[in-house]
């Protein structure tokens, strides 16, 4: 991603380490069967246990590789002008939202995500476009940062900006009645 001049990176987000959960469980199952092979009394039982250990170890290695590729390829980048969501290696999906065009930021937590602080972050833009990144670390913090940058990029109207500070008298409402005239007519 190329940054424009004067566009610092405020936050980089990646998926939570929980993406390695499946690989960890398979590794633990492999270790459990390894203990079973050590305690086996017959040679045939030991060979069956070692075959099961090998199968679980291969699946654990494959799951760890897939999880690491997912962590490398998925990212969220927040600058002071935009939010960029990227995912995928062979088929990459990339979406950019300018901060003023973001309508809402939705955070969803699974039960374990609430405990371990990860969830799905969905960014919705005006016009119905939306993108998400699953299992991202600290999604509430990321949402707060996006909203903070939005407020800095789009300051509230102050006197002299937007609506006029002095209301214009309404000639049709009688004496002393005023309203703000946004059109300046």
pLDDT in tens, 101-135: 889 999 999 999 999 999 999 999 888 888 888 99
Token pair recorded at residue 12: 């980089």
Number of domains comprising the chain: 1
**180 domain-assigned:** no
- Report if residue 13 sits inside a domain: yes
**pTM score, whole prediction:** 0.71
Instruction: Report yes or no on 144 lying in a domain.
Output: yes
Q: For the chain, what is the total number of helices (H) and then of strands (E)?
A: 4, 9
Specify if 161 maps to a domain: no
Angle 87-13-143 from CA coordinates, rounded to 5°: 105
The length of the chain is: 185
Residue 49 lies inside a defined structural domain of this protein = yes
**Which candidate, 92, 89, 100, 71, places its Cα nearest to that of 12?**
71
Which domain does 83 fall in, by range? 9-153
How does pLDDT run across 37-78, given as a tens digit for each residue?
888 888 898 899 999 999 999 999 999 999 999 999 999 999
CATH code, 78: 2.30.29.30
Q: What is the DSSP letter of 180?
A: -
């Amino acid at each position: 991603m190329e940054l424009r001049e004067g566009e610092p990176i405020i936050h980089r987000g990646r998926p939570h380490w929980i993406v390695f959960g499946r690989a960890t469980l398979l590794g633990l199952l492999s270790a459990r069967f390894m203990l079973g092979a050590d305690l086996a009394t017959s040679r045939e039982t030991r060979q069956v246990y070692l075959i099961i250990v090998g199968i679980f170890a291969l699946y654990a290695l494959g799951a760890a590789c897939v999880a690491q590729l997912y962590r490398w390829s998925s990212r969220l980048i927040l600058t002071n002008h935009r939010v960029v969501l990227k995912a995928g290696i062979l088929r990459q999906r990339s979406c950019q939202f300018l901060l003023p065009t973001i309508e809402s930021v939705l955070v969803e937590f699974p039960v374990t995500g609430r405990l371990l602080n990860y969830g799905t972050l969905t960014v919705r833009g005006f016009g119905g476009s939306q993108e998400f990144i699953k299992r991202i670390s600290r999604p509430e913090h990321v949402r707060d940062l996006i909203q903070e940058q939005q407020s800095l990029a789009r300051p509230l109207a102050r006197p002299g900006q937007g609506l006029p500070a002095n209301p214009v008298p309404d000639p049709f409402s009688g004496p002393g009645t005023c309203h703000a005239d946004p059109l300046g007519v």
